[in-house]
Amino acid sequence: MAEFNTPLILGDLHLKNRVIMAPLTRSRATDDRVPTAMMAEYYAQRASSGLIISEATVISEEANGYRNTPGLFTDAQVEGWKVVTQAVHEQQGLIVAQLWHVGRVSDPELLGGQTPVSASAVQQAGHVSLLRPKRGYVVPRPLEITEIKSIVEQFKQAAIRAKEAGFDGVELHAANGYLIDQFLQTKTNLRDDEYGGTVENRARLLLEVIDVLIEVWGAGRVGVHLAPRGDEHDMGDDAPRETFGYALEQLGQRNIAFFFTREYLADDSISNYMKERSNGVPYIANMRLSREDAMQLLASGQADAVSFGKAYIANPDLYERLMVNAPLNELVLENMIGTDVAEGYIDYPSMQNKCAADRSQN
């Protein structure tokens, strides 16, 4: 029966425990998308997790939808990430890079005046995150076939740079309504070419990118991030069991290291169905998990590992706290995204530091 502290093998990754740090956009990189020393400290603080999945990292400047998110397409970015991965490894941690193209979830202001791209010209509801003055999303431009091939190559080059930067593997961000998801789900993919229509065609970009990541890293160091509910960025699919079941069947044939789903637990959850279709690919559960939820998922074998996001922002030693059922620090929303200050980023106390501070006051 698996518990938080049970070791786990994900492909070629040997994890010391089954508590995973989810990818968390914090927008703390430089204007040129170079990781900073403060980011290295942030990740090193959380290296007791079994695996860190980095914040989403753009594969090109054209792939971005937010200011100050890190990249993996320049030499300076590689050098910045080297400091981060070294800091994590010095704490005996593992870290994989999450590779990202936002597609339509952007704005011309962030793209040098260019129109965001997507599978099809389907406008997203809502307003662009963090930009002021407030504005709605624009109608995206459908990608041409040659452009799709170019983006696949950008993913490959980012994977090569991730290896140069010292990461332990890569995870493809195919969730939350970003570009890969926009091709996968029927609401955003209205194409009638080889990338649209049937589930086989809609999954083509996902699988082409996975294949080039495997070329670089080997299947045992490649994971994928999926969101079968389609509950972010105005997504939706006519038949999610068919779509995501097929995707996992194909990923299982490639024997990738893991798949991660952002899907809260409910009667209509399909993550376990996806696991059944995956030919044994290890499954990382995520989204709104309580400690009790996580323990039950591991004990029952429904999930191979459990992942936490916001709890890891406020608790650098979350793994240790889960082990002893210790109280958690309260999440402070101020400074959570996009500042250059330490407060709300690297100043959350660990249990050990808090106890030492309490003793000094007595």
User: Which among 43, 66, 137, 178 is annotated as catalytic?
Assistant: 178
Percent of the chain with pLDDT over 70: 98
* pLDDT given for residue 43 in this prediction: 98
Extract the tokens encoding 166: 């010292």
Extract the tokens encoding 153: 């190559």
Q: Please write down the HEC assignment for all residues of 324-355.
A: HCCCCCCCCCCCCCCCCCCCCCCCCCCHHHHH
* Spatial contact of 115 and 141, defined as CB atoms under 8 Å apart: yes
pLDDT digits (tens, 9 = 90+) for 159-178: 999 999 999 999 999 999 99
pLDDT surpasses 70 at 359: no
- Answering whether pTM is above 0.85, one says yes
Question: HSE (CB half, 13 Å, CA atoms) of 335?
Answer: 14
Extract the tokens encoding 79: 């050098």
The residue assigned the tokens 């593997």 is: 169
Closest CA to 51 of 270, 304, 345: 304
State how far Cα 20 lies from the chain centre: 11
Beta strand extents in 105-249 (DSSP E only): 117-118, 141-142, 170-173, 222-226
**Residue 178 catalytic?**
yes
* Spatial contact of 87 and 163, defined as CB atoms under 8 Å apart: no
CB atoms within 10 A of CB 51: 30
pLDDT surpasses 90 at 340: no
